[in-house]
Structures are given as C-alpha cells and as structure tokens.
Amino acid sequence: MAYRIRKADYFSMQVSNRAGEGVRLLKGLRDHGVNLLAFTGFPNGRKAQVDLIPENTAALRRAAKKLKINLGKNKKVFLLQGDDRVGALVAVLEKLAAVRISVTAMDAACAGKGRYGAIFWVKPKYVTRAARVIGAR
C-alpha cells in the first residue's frame, strides 16, 4: 500500500498552559475508552491549543460531557497513512497544488517499521473538493 487517506473529525480547543494539563486531558479520555487517531498541542498565547482526532466521535462526545470538556465545533481534517519512503507526502500535496488548494497546516512523522502518518488541514470551504481530488474517504 502506498498510502491511505481519509477525512476525519477533529476538535480544537483551548486549555490552560500549565504543566500536566495535557496529560490530565489525555488520561481522562483514556479512562473513558476514547482512542485518538492523532493529538496535537502547542502554546497559543497564555493558553495552549489542543486538537483531538478521535477514532469514534460519539465516544469522544460522551467522554467530554462526563469530563465537562467543551469540545467546540466539529471540523474536518485529513489523515494520511502509508509506507514510508523518500518524498512520501509529495504525491498528495501535488494533487492539491494542481487545483490550487493550499494546505493550511500539516504534521507528519515516521511511525516505525516502514510506516508514516500525517494530518493536514485545508480551509473548510475546500474540504469536499480536496477529498475528491485526493481520493479521501
């Protein structure tokens, strides 16, 4: 398999930028059986922004309610997974560039054992078109 790409739900929220805040959030989600496909976090002013990409959106919503977490609005992200090789991201990015769709942000990493993964965002108005162009499910 060269790569697999799909659209996924994600939730972005602001949390306190204090030591241990991220692990408190992740532990609470774990304790409620929420599996995350991806998680990103970074400082944003006096707060920190965290993005949660759940395997099961309904499970995340249930856990968030119990944990009194305001998830905010459900948005879309693309999840790309494949066999690692030189230039692994190029084919997908070229398809988007060819139709003038800009990637607004991307995080990618080697996953070991010859695999890689990436998450990336496009502007909301381009999500449907981008999914069609890159063959995302």
Using one digit for the tens of pLDDT, what is the confidence trace for 96-124? 999 999 999 999 999 889 999 999 999 99
CA distance 58 to 72: 14
Using one digit for the tens of pLDDT, what is the confidence trace for 43-86? 998 999 999 999 999 999 999 999 999 998 999 999 999 999 99
CA distance 61 to 119: 21
My answer on whether 18 and 70 are in the same domain is yes
Cα–chain center distance at 90: 19
Q: Would residue 5 count as lying in a domain?
A: no
Q: What CATH number is attached to the domain comprising 21?
A: 3.30.70.260
**Domain extent at residue 54:** 10-74
pTM, rounded to two decimals: 0.89
HEC string of 70-131 equals CCCCCEEEEEEEEECCCCCCHHHHHHHHHCCCCEEEEEEEEEECCEEEEEEEECHHHHHHHH
Q: Would residue 123 count as lying in a domain?
A: yes
Number of domains in the chain: 2
My answer on whether 64 and 112 are in the same domain is no
Q: Would residue 3 count as lying in a domain?
A: no
Last residue of a domain, one of 74, 103, 125: 74
My answer on whether 125 and 82 are in the same domain is yes
My answer on whether 62 and 87 are in the same domain is no
The stretch 23-30 carries a mean pLDDT of: 96
My answer on whether 19 and 56 are in the same domain is yes
My answer on whether 115 and 65 are in the same domain is no
My answer on whether 128 and 83 are in the same domain is yes
